[in-house]
């Protein structure tokens, strides 16, 4: 009986899993072209990659939490002055060595650009009719 309960306990532990939230808020996807991104700056955008990993040791000890947001921030940190990634791709990799180690990594790839609109040019002053 003790062997059966020990086997049931081990089976229950092997069925446990850890879940973490990868996207901390609502995600908005738009196909509408943004005029501020349709500038020459996008052509000179830098290709960046960011990564965030979450690991679990011995099925119950979490070491770090990998999120898409932290991978996105990691990618943007490689191109100072930028705040948006265009042509965004996300990849996920899993490594599992039962029962010792489990790892989920999220990678973000894309082109980092500054999405802020350029400062408007000074408007010409209207002619007053005096020469």
More confident residue, 30 or 115: 115
Which of 23-27, 54-58, 114-118 shows the highest mean pLDDT? 54-58
Determine the pLDDT at residue 108: 92
Q: Which of 30-34, 60-64, 105-109 has the lowest mean pLDDT?
A: 30-34
C-alpha pair distances (Å), 113 with each of 2, 13, 18, 90, 109 = 62, 46, 35, 17, 13
Domain boundaries, the chain: 37-117
pLDDT at 123 over 60: no
């Amino acid at each position: 009986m003790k062997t059966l309960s020990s086997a049931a306990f081990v089976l229950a532990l092997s069925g446990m899993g850890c879940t973490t939230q990868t996207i901390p808020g609502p995600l908005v996807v738009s196909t509408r072209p943004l005029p501020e991104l349709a500038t020459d700056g996008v052509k000179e955008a830098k290709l960046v990659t960011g990564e965030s990993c979450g690991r679990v040791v011995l099925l119950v000890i979490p070491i770090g939490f990998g999120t898409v947001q932290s991978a996105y921030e990691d990618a943007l940190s490689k191109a100072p002055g930028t705040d948006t990634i265009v042509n965004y791709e996300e990849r996920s990799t899993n490594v599992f060595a039962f029962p010792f180690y489990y790892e989920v990594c999220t990678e973000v790839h894309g082109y980092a650009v500054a999405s802020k609109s350029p400062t408007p040019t000074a408007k010409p002053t209207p002619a007053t009719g005096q020469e």
